[in-house]
Amino acid sequence: MSRLESFIRRLTAQRDILDQVCAEVAKMEGPVLELGLGNGRTFHHLRERLPGRRIVAFDRALAAHASSIPEAENLVLGEIRETASRFIGIDAALVHADIGTGYEDRDAVTSTWLPDLTARLLRVGGIAVSGTPLDHPQLQRLPPPPSVPADRYFICRRV
Ligand code: SAM
């Protein structure tokens, strides 16, 4: 598969998964945490699907399109491992982590801290969506929508 095809599949998977989980998150209290604002496309999508919901976005640096920049109080810059740790206990309804790099060794390092951090950020019953695996005893894997190939994107519920 070419990188272009892989990219298209990733974006399609993101949209289909976010649409699926937002229907459930809409009925749940708690903010949304966007780990990896990037260009802001998925932030923009979440903002459209969950109008009025607080969405806190994290990144090393601001590089989002002007239409997709959170309010200053909801933009947190720095290394996510450190910055998001300050939000432990916030009882998020949804944590969306799009910080995979496509490099196995780098993503393996992320997998050493992201699952535990995600579990601590979520409320019980809250949902995590991630491009890298979230293996953790408090994160129960959920099936992706039928359009998403297995092990392409990961959906979990905080138990
Ligand atoms: N979902 C975004 C969108 O739709 O536009 C794209 C996110 S992009 C793939 C990943 C972003 O995460 C990059 O902007 C990168 O700077 C940020 N990132 C990755 N790892 C990070 C880390 N450990 N701390 C802070 N930011 C990180």
DSSP string, 11-52: HHHHHHHHHHHHHHHTTS-S-EEEE--TTSHHHHHHHHHSTT
pLDDT in tens, the chain (159 residues): 899 998 888 899 899 999 999 999 999 999 999 999 999 999 999 999 999 999 999 999 999 999 999 999 999 999 999 999 999 999 999 999 999 998 999 999 999 999 999 999 999 999 999 999 999 999 999 999 988 877 778 999 999
pLDDT at 42: 97
Q: Decide: 6 in ligand 1 pocket, CB within 6 A.
A: no
Residue span of the structural domain in which 44 resides: 3-158
Centre of ligand 1 from the C-alpha of residue 40, in Å: 9
Cβ–Cβ under 8 Å, residues 114 and 105? no
Measure 86 CA to ligand 1 centroid, in angstroms.
18
Shortest-distance Cα residue to atom 12 of ligand 1: 36
Count of domains for the chain: 1
Neighbours of 8 (CB within 10 A): 12
Gap from CA of 80 to ligand 1 centroid (Å): 9
Give the CATH number for residue 147.
Answer: 3.40.50.150
Note the pLDDT of residue 6. 85
